[in-house]
Structure 1
Amino acid sequence: MTENSTVDVATAIDAAVAARQDEALALLSRLVATQSVNPLQPGIDGEQYLGGEAAANAVVDEALRELGLETEKVAVDERRPNVVGIRRGTGGGRSLAFNAHIDTVAPQSDTAWKPEVRDGRLYGLGATDMKGGHAAVWLALAAIEDLGVRLSGDVHVHSVVGEETMSHELGTTAVLRAGHRTDAVVVAEPTSSAEVPGRIFNSAAGNYLFAVTLTGRSTHWVNRPRAIRAGGEGDTIGVNAADKAVYIYQAMRQLEEQWAFSKSHPAFPPGSFIIHPGVLRADVGFPAAPYFPDRARIDYLLSFPPGERAEDVRAEVEQHIRLACAMDPWLREHPVEFEWIDTWPPSYSAPDSEFVQAALRARQGVSESDPGVPAVPGVETGSYQSDSAFYEAQGVPAIVCGPGDITCAHAPEEWVDVDAVALLARTYARLILEWCA
């Protein structure tokens, strides 16, 4: 392909995207207006929202079929189906998937499902996280279809449920187990900012949600001197579970400080991997200060680098805390209990890999054809986890790149920049042409 023909193709892509931009905005508005709250979100009545994801995915299914894609539902739970759309290639080319989750967090305002465009932004729950990504993917495929491009490889759309609660077994992993594996994937999660839209993330830390539970021995609060001072009865009269929780907190903090040196990765700045205490509770079954609490629980969320396994991190944490308990007479006889709740594996695609470089060329190509669009600085490390991890766990190279801005995700007034949706569609279309042709 000559330089002039490359310019002609880019110009044609941009014109095709512009011609369909209003339709993409209408689709985005329709998706935002369709409540799709993840029914497993904590603190809500899940039955109230069950079926919302299915309703929103029905909108996605219809939009993809209108572009000529084959669609099918993949469901572990029939009430919460995923939608897979496939644009078939002529054969022999590399395949590419676009992943976008359809579920949202719970609403914080009565305008959550009333999309409104103001000052170049579309407001509404899920606009940035991540229905704007759905709209950008649809717009890219519409432009490819309008240009009459024949591709060698297949292009997939994986519109999945469950992402907001790490329910990948219902969503992305279910789609992969159903056989919808591709040669590479773009996860259209929000990576844009006001300064640089469409940044490209190639890595993210893994995480593990877990809890530590301790027991104490309740007594009247005035017995504290007899429990903790020399000459008193000590543990036989009472053990304050809050004190023991602080002891475990300090031991966990010590391990976290060690991790600043023992856990590292070239994609992450020093000290990136942490053990975050998010919830601390201690009581006797109800909140009352005049008692020694006889139970305590700390809920943690930790992060760990690509290349490490969740089960090894889990064993390391448990070993450290067991050693700490062995030095405390009460905890030695009444060891803590661990509850390992959920884990998200880390993700990493090498920055010099063929797919990451193709994605960079596609995004930089938009800046080259439009001087008003800032170039991206290269690939970056993401600050959050995404379903890219479950593709990479099966050997599928992945990047995260989408029109939303994470700073407004889950906010009462969530929004997505309308022009960013079009910009990402131009990027996606360029990537499809290079990767799948």
Structure 2
Amino acid sequence: MPSSKENRDALVRLDKAIAEHASDAERLLVDLVGVPSVNPLQPGVAVGKYNGGESRANELFGEWLRDAGMETHVVEADPGRANLVGVRRGSGGGRSLGINAHIDTVAPQQGRFEDPWKAERVGNLLYGLGTTDMKAAHAAAWLAVKALNTTDVGLTGDLHIHSVVGEETMSHGIGTTAVLEAGFGVDAAIIPEPTSSDDELFRLANTAAGNYLFSLTVPGKSTHWASRNLAIRAGGGGDTVGVNAIDKAFYVYTAMRQLEDQWAFSKRHPQFPPGAFIIHPGVLHADIGFPAAPYFPDRARFDYLLSFPPGDTSEQIRTEVESHIHAAAALDPWLAEHPIEFEWIDTWPPAYTDPTSEFARVALSARNEVAVDLGTPALDTPQPNGAQSDASFYEAQGIPALVCGPGNLLVAHAADEYVDVDLIPAAARMLVRTALGWCSEG
């Protein structure tokens, strides 16, 4: 490893180069925003409307990476949705570092500006779809590599940039996981997802809750609305007349709330506050196949999204939820004979990297040096992240991964998404410090 004086001299030169090329990094961000790279599997997106956008954005990014001295590779696990890998080879013997940024965005919304793909600058804020989540990270990663290249500061380990598709719909099998399985594994990874806000810049996260998107369908039995008294009052025929699926759905909803209340005590993690893990009902729909108030609906569907702590697996959570609801349903004569149907749609495993690990110490030191320069207090230890990221899929392959980036999570996915452009060179400074501390060690 270079001496402390050599490192300090290198950082002075790197910081100067970052400042000199910061305007170029902003121009890169403007250009990337200008390429619609909406994830084609986003809810509400017309089939085929955005096909190929991710690949076009990565083609553009590849040109910039090659200009910064990186070799580039394409990994295309799903035709038309190409990942990009940039590699800066080390001199040998050092540990490798990956910088991961997803190129896909959510669907556009109507905001203050007419064109979501035309970046608009207001003061230090650059507005546009994908600025915070997370094309500013691409600009910062490029700026870090450009500085390393122009100053000729060497690393003994390889430095990778993984620009991946599919993150917004957890399609890691064609994105991050596909890149790793294609032979571009690294010894550690940093994901510059948005972790900055007005109150705290560059929050460094080592853990995030898992989540599971699922639905359950509660069966009913249709009949005329005027028969409700016969279906629910003493002296009537009860279930033989009809069963309103909405009534049964609220029975199931109550059981799910009971489970959520139990989780406030049973689902714990030392890095999360009590009650952090929830079971959120997002959609309820009931009918007979079409909206018709004069009928008993014969099916009701809930769409839920839940969160769970590191240490639990998606399989364990699935079993726990189904067992609880089936036990509640067994106490209801109708539901005991007419099972609730579950559909487990997507799950994001929890993220967890040991906060005392060497990589965490290196990244935390890099973050603190930059954050303190910006007037943000130093952190004693990494913190939980407020959102999921592809860190989970590095960790699934035994690769420590941390999250720290320039954007503000509160404006990610918002109609008026923006990023403070001053945070792009600051993020680049954090990335080069992490690379020097990690990739220069044997």
Give the TM-score of the pair, scaled to structure 1: 0.97
Equivalence for 2:276: 272
Give the letter aligned to residue 275 of structure 1.
Answer: I
Equivalence for 1:389: 392
Equivalence for 2:424: 421
* CA RMSD, 1 decimal: 1.3
Q: Report the Cα distance in structure 1 between the residues aligned to 2:5 and 2:371, rounded to whole angstroms.
A: 17
Correspondent of 1:154 among 140, 153, 158? 158
Q: Report the Cα distance in structure 2 between the residues aligned to 1:391 and 1:143, rounded to whole angstroms.
A: 26
Superposed CA deviations along residues 225-275 of structure 1, whole A, max 9, x for unmatched, are: 111111110000010000111011111111111111111111111111111
Superposed CA deviations along residues 386-431 of structure 1, whole A, max 9, x for unmatched, are: 1000011111101011111011111121111101111110000111
Give the letter aligned to residue 61 of structure 1.
Answer: G
Give the letter aligned to residue 264 of structure 2.
Answer: A
Is 2:205 the partner of 1:201?
yes
SS in 2 for 1:46: coil
Does the C-alpha gap of structure 1 residues 42 and 323 become closer, same or farther in structure 2, counting only changes over 3 Å? same
Within 5 Å, which residues of 2 pair with 1:337-376?
Answer: 337-367=341-371, 370=373, 372=375, 374-376=377-379
Greater mean alpha carbon deviation, residues 131-140 or residues 62-71: 62-71
Greater mean alpha carbon deviation, residues 108-117 or residues 356-365: 108-117
Give the letter aligned to residue 181 of structure 1.
Answer: G
Deviation at 1:373, TM superposition (A): 5.1
Correspondent of 1:315 among 315, 319, 324? 319
Q: Report the Cα distance in structure 2 between the residues aligned to 1:212 and 1:284, rounded to whole angstroms.
A: 16
SS in 2 for 1:153: coil
Equivalence for 1:212: 216
Give the letter aligned to residue 385 of structure 2.
Answer: G
Is there any run of 5+ residues in structure 1 with no aligned partner, and where? none
SS in 2 for 1:358: helix
Superposed CA deviations along residues 266-288 of structure 1, whole A, max 9, x for unmatched, are: 11111111111110011111222
Deviation at 1:7, TM superposition (A): 3.8
Equivalence for 1:137: 141
Equivalence for 1:23: 24
Is 2:75 the partner of 1:74?
yes
The answer (yes or no) to whether the contact 1:135–1:421 under 8 Å persists in 2 is yes
Does the C-alpha gap of structure 1 residues 129 and 51 become closer, same or farther in structure 2, counting only changes over 3 Å? same
Superposed CA deviations along residues 299-324 of structure 1, whole A, max 9, x for unmatched, are: 11111111111111101111111111
Is there any run of 5+ residues in structure 2 with no aligned partner, and where? none
The answer (yes or no) to whether the contact 1:195–1:374 under 8 Å persists in 2 is no
Runs of 4+ displaced beyond 6 Å: none
Deviation at 1:9, TM superposition (A): 3.1
Q: Report the Cα distance in structure 2 between the residues aligned to 1:167 and 1:312, rounded to whole angstroms.
A: 21
Q: Report the Cα distance in structure 1 between the residues aligned to 2:63 and 2:357, rounded to whole angstroms.
A: 35
Equivalence for 1:182: 186
Superposed CA deviations along residues 117-149 of structure 1, whole A, max 9, x for unmatched, are: 211111110000000010011111111111111
Within 5 Å, which residues of 2 pair with 1:28-43?
Answer: 28-43=29-44
Within 5 Å, which residues of 2 pair with 1:216-255?
Answer: 216-255=220-259
Equivalence for 1:306: 310
The answer (yes or no) to whether the contact 1:196–1:376 under 8 Å persists in 2 is no
Superposed CA deviations along residues 54-100 of structure 1, whole A, max 9, x for unmatched, are: 11000111111111211111111120010011111111100000000
Deviation at 1:374, TM superposition (A): 4.6
Superposed CA deviations along residues 25-80 of structure 1, whole A, max 9, x for unmatched, are: 11010000111011111111131110111110001111111112111111111200
